[in-house]
Structure 1
């Protein structure tokens, strides 16, 4: 059964690993796990501008993000929409904020400092379509 609007927003805002999917020519979509942030109605993903996913997202102009809760109560939210942000060399604070959803603050800062590359990019998407599901109440 579909989630009410506020429930699906709260579900997407929780720190879960997502699967990002983007179309490819003459193949199935590329689907990869990602960390993400969801703030002010925008999904944010940190990657390298030279990564396969970033190159495909730039070409397609949009992507899909699927998030699930694999334990009872099961649920999922899938969002899709156009790229609304393409921010090269994102601020360290923005990357630490995203990473802190998944790691303690000290570890998140170290992770950003150790993995940030010169071609880092922060991608944003404002969902145009939502699909959700949860067990019947």
Structure 2
């Protein structure tokens, strides 16, 4: 029990136990890799799950190792393009260009499409798989 004094009057507050967060959600989030790769008809597909500054170097090294000339970055799992995602996309793009390849994006949400358009990245990268609602906004 906690005793609190307000204007010379004592008020008793009952202490309450705060439950711990559900650890299964935390474990699932920690087990999701920041990215995964698939190969589809000679194209390397990079599926971004949780972009982070710490994964950029590892990601670009693995892209170099694949030596793919066509890379599609799948953003289906990303709802909002923050600074980390934009930095990661630019790093991926520079890596692919240095290997003589090209990059395109797919699974871009409306919000991310607007961000990429505002930053004029849509002039550098082909964007595939844009939803109908996004196409009408042009």
**Does the TM-score normalized on the shorter chain lie above 0.5?**
no
- Larger CA Rg, structure 1 vs 2: 2
Scaled to the shorter chain, the TM-score interval is under 0.3
Q: Which has the higher contact order (CA 8 A, sep 6+)?
A: 1
Normalised by the length of structure 1, the TM-score is 0.25
Normalised by the length of structure 2, the TM-score is 0.25
**Per residue, is there more helix in 1 or in 2?**
2
**Per residue, is there more strand in 1 or in 2?**
1
